[in-house]
């Protein structure tokens, strides 16, 4: 299987499966001299891990303890590859025995089986959302690197279960289980998610991300534009089905005079319809994008499908699954964004003499 690495100068490779012994990552190109805060690393892992007391989140219990195997000495990165291991502790593989020969709708079961002729039916193997814990570990190192430049990455639930957040208060994000910047909207979201859970169904949402302090000049025209690389990073997350920057799809109904971000001395942009990126290069504005997160495919309702022999059948999925992925996918989106910006910063060092 190819395609398990992302980035060029700051290159991350992940490994492991949902029901294997563990998962992990190797960061190749992590600069020496980064002060490593292991408490911060673990706090990032805790934001993503399952078992939160929320109707949105799976009941699977994992400590997700990140064990640094190499690349750090006396609290600093050494410039050698950083290896991190996260061991699995709470697999219930027997929950998947009834789907051994049946494809789950909305999952990668069918496409993996067609591509490789074999599939790990226990939780989906590499297709499982559990794969993202390794990304979050790598993203924590990227965030520690970006902190030296005053760059921050903040994602939050803009919409879930059809309910839109009208306010944007960053201090509210970690005060509610939906990680929503609007307290009233968060309460409505949780109530709606609970209703989906009671009905044995799931729901999707929209996660918005703001990157502050990236400055100007990041991005490599033509194929490695900043927005193209961020899109690659975010769309590589299994549940993400769409992405837009700034005004996004609304710009299709706009006009040039309205959509252009006019400039004044400073320079200052009067608007940010471009989402902080022009011609693939950051312009100094906040980088803003939104990602569409699909409903969790593992639901507890009977569905029509086929088996490995191509015969029609039905399926009822068992086990422990999220109802809405938005709260747990937020640290993953932040991680992939941080990895991308770290990579672009290191690449940008070679852009001029």
3-state secondary structure of 263: strand
Q: Residue 294, annotated ligand binder?
A: yes
Those residues whose C-beta lies under 8 Å from the C-beta of residue 199, and which sit 6 or more positions away, are none
Q: Residue 119, annotated ligand binder?
A: no
| CB neighbour class for 166 (10 Å; exposed up to 12, middle 13-18, buried from 19) | exposed
Q: Residue 351, annotated ligand binder?
A: no
Q: Residue 279, annotated ligand binder?
A: yes
Which residue in 346, 351, 337, 15 sits closest to 153, CA to CA? 337
Partners of 163 in beta bridges: 160
Those residues whose C-beta lies under 8 Å from the C-beta of residue 227, and which sit 6 or more positions away, are 219, 245, 275, 277, 280, 289
Q: Residue 57, annotated ligand binder?
A: no
Q: Residue 128, annotated ligand binder?
A: yes
Q: Residue 192, annotated ligand binder?
A: no
Q: Residue 236, annotated ligand binder?
A: no
3-class secondary structure for 41-99? HHHHHHHHCCCCCCCCCCCCCCCCCEEEEECEECCEECCCCEEEEEECCCCCHHHHHHH
CB 126 within 8 A of CB 337: no
Which DSSP letter does residue 30 get?
Answer: P
Q: Residue 127, annotated ligand binder?
A: yes
Which residues carry a binding-site annotation? 48, 126-128, 279, 294-298, 320
Which residues carry a binding-site annotation for FMN? 126-128, 279, 294-298, 320
Which residues carry a binding-site annotation for NADP(+)? 48
């Amino acid at each position: 299987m190819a395609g398990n690495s992302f980035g060029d100068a700051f290159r991350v490779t992940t490994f492991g499966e949902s029901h294997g012994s563990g998962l992990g990552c190797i960061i190749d190109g992590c600069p020496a001299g980064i002060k490593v805060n292991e408490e911060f690393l673990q706090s990032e892992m805790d934001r993503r891990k399952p078992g939160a007391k929320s109707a949105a989140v799976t009941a699977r219990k994992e400590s997700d303890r990140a064990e640094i195997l190499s690349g750090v000495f006396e609290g600093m990165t050494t410039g050698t590859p950083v290896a991190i291991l996260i061991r699995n502790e709470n697999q219930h593989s027997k929950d998947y025995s009834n789907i051994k020969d049946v494809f789950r709708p909305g999952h990668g079961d069918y496409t993996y089986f067609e591509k490789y002729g074999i599939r790990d039916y226990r939780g989906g193997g590499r297709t499982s959302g559990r794969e993202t814990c390794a990304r979050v570990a790598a993203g924590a190192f990227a965030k520690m690197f970006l902190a030296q430049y005053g760059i921050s990455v903040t994602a939050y639930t803009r919409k879930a279960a059809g309910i839109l957040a009208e306010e944007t208060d960053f201090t509210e994000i970690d005060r509610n289980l939906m990680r929503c910047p609007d307290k009233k909207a968060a309460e409505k979201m949780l109530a709606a998610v609970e209703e989906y859970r009671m009905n044995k169904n799931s729901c999707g949402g929209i996660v918005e991300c703001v990157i502050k302090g990236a400055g100007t000049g990041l991005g490599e025209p033509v194929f490695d534009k900043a927005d193209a690389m961020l899109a690659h990073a975010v769309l590589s997350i299994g549940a993400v089905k769409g992405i837009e920057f700034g005004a996004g799809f609304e710009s299709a109904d706009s006009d040039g005079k309205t959509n252009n971000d006019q400039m004044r001395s400073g320079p200052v942009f009067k608007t940010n319809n471009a989402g902080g990126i022009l011609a693939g290069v950051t312009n100094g504005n906040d980088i803003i994008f939104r990602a569409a997160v699909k409903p969790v495919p593992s639901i507890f309702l009977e569905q029509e499908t086929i088996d490995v022999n191509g015969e029609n059948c039905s399926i009822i999925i068992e086990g422990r699954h999220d109802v809405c992925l938005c709260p747990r996918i937020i640290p993953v989106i932040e991680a992939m964004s941080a990895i991308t910006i770290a990579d672009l910063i290191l690449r940008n060092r070679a852009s001029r003499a």
